[in-house]
Amino acid sequence: MQKQETLTKNQKIILDIIEKSSQPLKAYSILFDVKKKGINAPLQVYRALDKLVKIGKIHKIESRNAFIACKNSKCQIANATIFSICESCEDVTEIHDHKLSEHLRDFKDNKGMKYNKYNLEFFGLCKKCV
Amino acid sequence: MQKQETLTKNQKIILDIIEKSSQPLKAYSILFDVKKKGINAPLQVYRALDKLVKIGKIHKIESRNAFIACKNSKCQIANATIFSICESCEDVTEIHDHKLSEHLRDFKDNKGMKYNKYNLEFFGLCKKCV
DNA sequence: CTTATAAATGTTATATTATTACACAGCGTT
DNA sequence: AACGCTGTGTAATAATATAACATTTATAAG
Ligand SMILES: [Zn+2]
Ligand SMILES: [Zn+2]
Ligand SMILES: [Zn+2]
Ligand SMILES: [Zn+2]
């Protein structure tokens, strides 16, 4: 059974907006959207984003400073994310590839480092943009 | 034979600073350092950084907004970067793992996307920080 | 050498992304 | 009640990055 986080009002509002978007949203664009709901300051957005990232409901696309909902409803892999990013249309897709995930999970370097997280971003051109 | 880019004065100054640091540097910390050499504005730094990234002399650590020199002097892999990042001391190391690189290079998703680049960041605790 | 073209520079201003600091509210535990 | 913890609201500010414009330098073509 999965631990069910109870989200607060602000967290729900922010998550809702991100989940309704198929593509990553930026913090200030989210802020703009939620002003009508009484969220007025960047910090309110960033705090909700931080929490949602932490519990795996959303992921941050580091190269884009944007946030996308995790489609995997039982996401065990908040700490193991893979994305493909089209450099033309900026379309972002989360990749779930068992073999690749396994390879990354099992990766050991030669420095004795203990990993607990990874983020992989592939860049290229999607079918439409080739 | 590898194409030898000729760097301009600003590019050399910025690259020099980054190469002298074992760890990633942030743009504004670089700016601070090069003021004594007559580079006064952020844009001068960012332009040099852009170029150096493009030709593979340095890499951007996306999750840290910082830049590190590529140690691989004949870097064929400006477009294929793997880093390990200690979340405690922020030590960053570029990883060269043939098997993993191969796996990533050969990765194909099921959307027909054409990749030309990837960036992978592992997070955890280094030996000293465990 | 002259002209054209691309790449880099210098400068100012501005945009975008993210955090610090502080006062306070709600909630479960002791 | 007192405490610790998490979240909230607000204002101010820090940190990261780009736009716009005028000028200069390097490279190539005629
Ligand atoms: Zn996910
Ligand atoms: Zn595309
Ligand atoms: Zn490298
Ligand atoms: Zn460490």
The Cα B39–Cα A60 span in angstroms is: 33
Maximum C-alpha span of chain A = 52
Q: Is A98 within 8 Å of chain B by CB?
A: no
What confidence score (pLDDT) does residue A76 get? Answer: 58
What is chain A's Cα-based Rg? 16
Residue B29 pLDDT > 70, yes or no? yes
Residues B125, B66: contact at Cβ < 8 Å? Answer: no
CA of A37 and C1' of C10: distance in angstroms?
Answer: 45
* Beta carbon pairs, A and B, within 8 Å: 99
- pLDDT above 90 covers what percent of chain B? 87
DSSP 8-state code for residue B12: H
Query: What value does the mean pLDDT of chain B take?
Result: 92
Non-local (6+) Cβ contacts of B100 within 8 A are A103, A104, A107, B82
- pTM score: 0.94
The Cα A99–Cα A85 span in angstroms is: 20
Chain center to CA of B80:
11
The Cα B96–Cα B15 span in angstroms is: 21
B72-123 tens-digit pLDDT:
765 556 789 999 999 999 999 999 999 999 999 999 999 999 999 999 999 9
Q: Which nucleotides of C are covered by protein (CB under 7 A)?
A: 8-13, 16-21
Structure tokens at A93: 């897709």
The Cα B11–Cα B59 span in angstroms is: 14
What confidence score (pLDDT) does residue B76 get? Answer: 57
What confidence score (pLDDT) does residue A1 get? Answer: 35
Residue A2 pLDDT > 50, yes or no? no
DSSP 8-state code for residue A5: P
Residue A92 pLDDT > 70, yes or no? yes
CA of A77 and C1' of D3: distance in angstroms?
Answer: 36
How remote is the CA of residue A81 from the centroid of ligand 1, in Å? 6
User: What is the distance in angstroms between the Cα of A33 and the nearest Cα belonging to chain B?
Assistant: 26
- pLDDT (mean) for B8-15: 97
Structure tokens at A71: 């489609």
According to DSSP, the residues that pair with B92 across neighbouring strands are B85
What confidence score (pLDDT) does residue A72 get? Answer: 77
A12-25 tens-digit pLDDT:
999 999 999 999 99
Enclosing H/E stretch for B61: strand B58-61
CB atoms within 10 A of CB B44: 16
pLDDT tier at A3, thresholds 50, 70, 90? very low
The Cα A68–Cα A77 span in angstroms is: 14
Which domains are seen in chain A, by residue range? 9-124 (1.10.10.10)
C-alpha count within 13 angstroms, C-beta hemisphere, residue A111: 22
